[in-house]
Amino acid sequence: MIQKLDPKKVYKRNELILKINEIIDHLHKDEFSLMNFDLKFLYNQAIEALKAYGICVSSAPKFELIQSKLNSYKFSKINKFEKSILLLIPPVPRKDLLAAINKNNNIGNLQYDCYTYSFDDDSLWGKDSNEWRVMITEDMKDIQKKFSGTWKKQAESFLEDAKEKGIDLINDAQSYLVLLMIMQKQNINIETDYFCVLNADRLTNSSYVAYSVFRADIRRVVFYGSNPVYASEDLRARPSVPLL
């Protein structure tokens, strides 16, 4: 419960700013509690997905720590998502996360092991983090927002659009594989209609555009790379708001 401003008290400027920010945070939390957003549920969902795939969660960030990171600014960004999902990304190499998914293909409805291209290449798939990371992303089977031009131009447009909105993109396979785990545990396939770019922040004129897509015909997730001059409008990007 926040303390009300005392109308008889003369506040110093910094003290008044802190009070105002406290009130704004409180209002945003009230607003957020009315939305389809249950942070505790999403946290438990993320924990259970990792455990189902044999990923150790004993050192995972506690719920209270994550809850404390949801300030009014981040609330306002997450509020733009139609539906949200929480990712707890462990300090586990992407190759091990991939192996866990392939080993437990009885979870969800994947028929074959994930197919990967040059999965050792950090420029394509991002550098693995050795610390826990936490982010909130949009919980949708396929992202609808699109841009035109070559895939490199589209990826750059997604990145620029995200920066203008004050958010990030999922830009690494390590994060995406965790998203895949959560969705497969719910028996939901993602990227069924479009390709999700995973290296929009690392593209050069000569680098491939790294992406993930679900092949419905063989029920297989594919991690591959495309020539940057390819120009179909099937490329998408997943927005995210980092918490840790």
Q: Where are the domains of the chain?
A: 13-242
Mean pLDDT of 144-148: 91
Please give the pLDDT value at position 29.
Answer: 52
Give the tokens for residue 52: 């189902």
What percent of the chain has pLDDT above 70? 85
Confidence of residue 26 (pLDDT cuts 50, 70, 90): low
Mean pLDDT of 59-74: 92
Please give the pLDDT value at position 48.
Answer: 98
User: How many degrees, rounded to 5, is the angle at CA 191 between CA 106 and CA 221?
Assistant: 40
User: 7-11, 114-118, 135-139, 203-207: which has the minimum mean pLDDT?
Assistant: 7-11
Please give the pLDDT value at position 82.
Answer: 84
Please give the pLDDT value at position 209.
Answer: 96
Bridge-partner residues for 146, per DSSP?
Answer: none
What percent of the chain has pLDDT above 90? 70
More confident residue, 238 or 106: 238
Confidence of residue 73 (pLDDT cuts 50, 70, 90): confident
Euclidean distance between CA atoms 11 and 23, whole angstroms: 15
Q: What is the pLDDT of residues 177-206, one digit of tens each?
A: 999 999 999 999 999 999 999 999 999 888
For the cut 50, the answer to whether the pLDDT of residue 166 exceeds it is yes
Give the tokens for residue 178: 């965790």
For the cut 80, the answer to whether the pLDDT of residue 28 exceeds it is no
Phi and psi angles of residue 117, each rounded to the nearest 5 degrees, phi first: -120, 125
User: 15-24, 138-147, 166-175: which has the minimum mean pLDDT?
Assistant: 15-24
Alpha helix (H) residue ranges in the chain: 13-33, 39-52, 63-68, 72-78, 94-103, 122-125, 151-165, 173-185
Euclidean distance between CA atoms 66 and 39, whole angstroms: 9
For the cut 50, the answer to whether the pLDDT of residue 54 exceeds it is yes
For the cut 90, the answer to whether the pLDDT of residue 222 exceeds it is yes
